A and B are shown apart, each in its own frame.
Chain A
Amino acid sequence: MLMKRRPDIPSSEITDERIYVDRRKFLATGSLLGVAAATGALPGCLKASPSEGEADDKLTPYKDVTTYNNYYEFGTGKEDPAENAGSFRTSPWSVTVEGLVKRPAVYNLEDILRPVTQQERIYRLRCVEGWSMVIPWMGFPLSAFISRVEPTSQAKFVEFTTLHDPRRMPGQRRPVLDWPYTEGLRLDEAMHPLTILATGLYGRALPNQNGAPLRLVVPWKYGFKSIKGIVKIRFTDRQPATAWNKAAPSEYGFYSNVNPEVDHPRWSQSKERRIGEFLRRRTLMFNGYGDQVARMYAGMDLRRNY
């Protein structure tokens, strides 16, 4: 098979060796899709050449990224956030830092952003519902901010909270979730270099429906972990309660790492539909970021810690 190197792959587009190997394995199993793609029966649907696997992760169009959103604060329909969040004001904005930390304070957004350098990160986003996107975020490592506020040695977890303001967030007028939305990470997950606070996408300011002005992005976990519209960051020694876990404990765990082996109780997680594609693709362990993150979970039973 002819393998051509594509010269212009952004360094931030992370598609590691393991995925290539997985793709080969996938083809070797002779599954329907693999055979069809290898014989060229499905042009454009699935590239057979592993080197083109990287091109497979092409960016999801801006329009889809900004009109197909789960942001229940602005409605539960996929297009509701884009329709309802237009007039949401994100300035002024501040983030309260509290708990087991040496510099607890209310930080203005400008103050948070001043010392950091914005970088582009192209990440896959896998929703627990079985769809995925590839999004070019603008943001900075969460670790930069955490180091600045200096958690104490007792701090083991970080809890994030979304703004709670039913007048500005119409979705909060119905008790769909226990508002405000909260999420959490273990401190080592929060400090991981892949974990970012995002302030933009496609080189532009973050649209309101995508979580402006400040959201978390944790690419190896299901999308709902990447909390939007953050107003509070709390450091704690206990695993914090999280919104979806409270809503349905048997369906959404604290870790919620992307894991094709562990099904959601109501649907399979082994495959996903990349937005814009027809055929479903296989879901990758840790959303394809296993090389960077798997060691954090060494020795853990991921079936129990779903």
Chain B
Amino acid sequence: MFTAALLPLAFLVWEGFTDDLGANPIEEVELRTGRWALRFIAITLAVTPLRRLTGWNEVIKYRRMLGLFAFFYATLHLIAFIGLDMFFDVGDIVEDIVKHPYITIGMATWLLLLPLAITSTKGWVRRLGGKRWNRLHQLIYVAAITGTIHYLWAVKKDTFLPLVYLGIIGALLAWRLWAWLARRRARAPRPPAAIS
């Protein structure tokens, strides 16, 4: 699975060397790394529903790696923006982040993913305690939404594809809401318990 997750990058590098990324390769690199970041966020969010619905428990073993790949592609996306597109022009980068909402929200998305990547180790789970760690990692729900909005706002007019992403991520989050409400209802007679 690790190798499979690196394939999109391998294709990108290969096509980069063979000059197959079209007339505007920098834009193509940004588009592809961004889409793969969103796809890996969606795949990561699919792990728990998949496990609950199929009883395939081993799948949880891959969740951390999938989440880290989301961060990996998001980081490549950010590097492509800073290093290729803007060529480290700090003034322009800051202006873009401050003035243009789709870039602001994109930057915010990466910052939301950063602490999750840092605290992804076993040591950090221990240090934070399972409950607090879980709570922190719910930030991926926010990042999934802001990341998709970033894509939606970046598009000029044809919003079909961003809306497909929004639909998929919306469904994965709606399932959690539904599961949470169902759990709460099951405990209804007792006073409301902490949410995990």
Interface residues of A (CB under 8 A from B): 32-33, 63-64, 67-68, 72, 76, 78-79, 129, 131, 174, 176-177, 247-248, 263, 266-268, 271, 273, 275-276, 278-280
Contact = CB atoms under 8 A, between A and B. Distances in A.
A87 to B, nearest CB: 22
Contact of B23 (A76, A177, A247, A276): A276
Contacts of B100: 266-268
B157 A176 contact: yes
B87 to A, nearest CB: 6
A189 to B, nearest CB: 24
Where chain B touches its partner, the secondary structure class is: helix
A268 B157 contact: no
Contacts of B58: none
A32 B89 contact: yes
Interface of B: 22-24, 26-27, 84-89, 92, 95-96, 99-102, 153-154, 156-158, 160
A273 B22 contact: no
Nearest to B28: A78
A182 to B, nearest CB: 15
Where chain A touches its partner, the secondary structure class is: loop
A276 B24 CA distance: 7
Contacts of B102: 266-267
B23 A268 contact: no
B92 A176 contact: no
Nearest to A79: B22
A68 B22 contact: yes
A247 B156 CA distance: 10
A278 B92 contact: no
A263 B88 CA distance: 21
Nearest to A267: B100
B157 A280 contact: no
Nearest to B95: A268
B166 to A, nearest CB: 17
A156 to B, nearest CB: 29
Contact of B26 (A32, A64, A129, A273): A273
B23 A68 contact: yes
14 contacts: A64-B23, A129-B156, A176-B158, A247-B157, A266-B154, A267-B96, A267-B100, A267-B102, A268-B99, A271-B92, A273-B85, A278-B26, A278-B87, A279-B87
Contact of A76 (B96, B99, B158): B158
A121 B153 CA distance: 36
Nearest to B101: A266
Given A67-B22, A248-B157, A275-B24, 17 more contacts: A32-B89, A67-B23, A72-B158, A76-B157, A78-B23, A129-B156, A131-B24, A174-B160, A176-B157, A263-B99, A267-B100, A271-B92, A273-B26, A273-B85, A278-B26, A278-B87, A280-B87
Contacts of B22: 67-68, 78-79
Contacts of A32: 88-89
A131 to B, nearest CB: 6
B85 to A, nearest CB: 8
